[in-house]
Amino acid sequence: MAALGKVYLIGAGPGAQDLITLRGARLLAQADVVLHDALVTEEMLELCPQAEKILVGKRCGQLSTAQQFINKQLVDHVHKVPLVVRLKGGDPMLFGRADEELRALEEAGIEVEVVPGITTALAAAAASKQPLTKRGVSRSVAFFTSSTAPDHAEHDAIPDTDTLVQYMGGREAIATAERLLAQGRKPDTPVVVIENVSRPDQHIRRMTIATLAQGLGAAHGPVLVMLGDAMKTRSHQSFDSEINSAIAHQLRA
């Protein structure tokens, strides 16, 4: 009986092809099969031209691949080929359903390795030039999302930290802003909203929690929201013209 292959859970990073790790890129170039998320870019998939590519994406509000089916695909393919990659946006271990896939592979006796990636929050902080921590201002950061399993609704509480980073923001960020205001956060607390982080169509908007509570306007890609006093702009900080146009678009929406 042929020996089982190996599965790698690889973080693709926030989107730009050159933000994947060297190890991740090397393994992609060796992969026989790549099961990838919907947010993985075509440019990223150019790193594995030799591999069979299978889309197993999950997008909010759209028809998605069931997690049990993804688990079965991983197990089935590793019985057929030596190297299987599960390519995930950002980092596999943060909001990536990695626990479920690791459990399925371990229960099947399959060797698996995790290759970290740059999570979107860090790419967003870099793109906006806004550190998530700041001496004397912010010494704690929480990454959170409003998307939870149906039987874990009690975990929807907003973390109590200096800087908040909400993944999969979109319309959920408006509800977050409303709740923060109700909890006593200052209305003028600065907020940075980034859409399509690190991609050519990246969009940065700067506002306050009070403005965010009134709506975000249209969004055409994944949205990440950073809230807290650490988001306050520096006195000599300059901005691209797209930021001003984004705010104008929001006010017209």
**Token duo for residue 220:** 């055409």
**Token duo for residue 47:** 């790193």
What residue spans of 183-240 are helical by DSSP H? 209-212
Angle, to 10 degrees, between the axis of helix 98-107 and the axis of helix 67-78?
40
Active site residues: 37, 58, 168
Rounded Cα distance between 138 and 110, Å, is 42
Count of CA atoms in the C-beta half-sphere (13 A) of 69: 9
Buried b / exposed e across 48-71, counting CB within 10 Å, b at 16+?
beebeebebbbeeeeeebeeeebb
Closest CA to 121 of 194, 57, 172: 194
Q: Which residues have C-beta within 8 Å of that of residue 157, sequence separation ≥ 6?
A: none
Rounded Cα distance between 89 and 118, Å, is 9
Q: Are 207 and 217 in contact (CB under 8 A)?
A: no
